[in-house]
Amino acid sequence: MKRYKKWVMTGALVVAGALWNATAAAQDDWDACKMLRQADVETAFAPRKFDTGTLGKNVVKSSPKLAAVSRCTYTSAGVTPKDRITVSLLARRAPSDTTGVTPEAAKAGALQLKAVPVDVAGMGNGAYTVNMGSSAFPVIELNVFRGKRDWLVFGCGAAKLDQNGAIAGLKKVAQATVNRQ
């Protein structure tokens, strides 16, 4: 009987170790370009065509103390830089429910930067837009929160940017993206 218990315990430890490694690998695989797709960006901002997307260089892997952070950026074609639009996703996943950023805290941060958060209906609890750019180069951000851990910031910036069109496009992109991991 002792031998049986030993094998059961060993098997349980092996399974627990495998599950731990699979969970850790899934947390480390936080890739904004897997969530935000070129086809979704092109559909939302038609008739513009965009590049295949660039994963940000400073990806932060998840740890017990650090949130995983990833950025993906798409840039449209254009004759001059003023004709191009950049669409991006900054995705942050907190290591636990207690370390996530709340919509209230994010809005307070925007206010400290002299930006004015505007609530957005139909995009989940606490969703809001904010212009983090200038009148010469608006940068519209749509902040969406998934549960207590995930904060998704969809951004759109350009020299010639229709802000209402940008918000409408970002909403379409967010709706297509929000349920992807």
| Strand ranges for the chain from DSSP E | 54-55, 68-75, 86-93, 118-119, 128-131, 139-146, 150-157
Q: What is the mean pLDDT of the chain?
A: 84
Contact 91, 71 (CB under 8 A): yes
Taking alpha carbons only, the member of 89, 88, 83, 82 closest to residue 47 is: 83
| pLDDT for res 82 | 85
Res. 172 pLDDT band, cuts 50 70 90: very high
DSSP state of 175: H
Q: What's the chain's Rg over C-alpha atoms?
A: 20
| 9-46 pLDDT tens trace | 333 333 333 333 333 334 456 899 999 999 999 999 99
Average pLDDT score over residue span 52-64: 88
> 158 and 135 share a domain?
yes
> 85 and 56 share a domain?
yes
Q: Please give the model's pTM, rounded to 2 decimal places.
A: 0.82
128's CB contacts (< 8 A; 6+ apart) are 103, 106, 107, 110, 117, 118, 119, 120, 142, 143
> 77 and 153 share a domain?
yes
CATH of the domain at 71: 3.40.1000.70
> 151 and 67 share a domain?
yes
> 53 and 116 share a domain?
yes
Average pLDDT score over residue span 119-128: 94
| pLDDT for res 73 | 97
Contact 152, 91 (CB under 8 A): yes
Q: What does the block give as tokens for 113? A: 């930067």
> 128 and 62 share a domain?
yes
Domain count, the chain: 2
Give the domain range for residue 23. Answer: 1-30
> 25 and 40 share a domain?
no
> 16 and 38 share a domain?
no
| pLDDT for res 29 | 67
> 95 and 60 share a domain?
yes
> 61 and 87 share a domain?
yes
| pLDDT for res 160 | 84
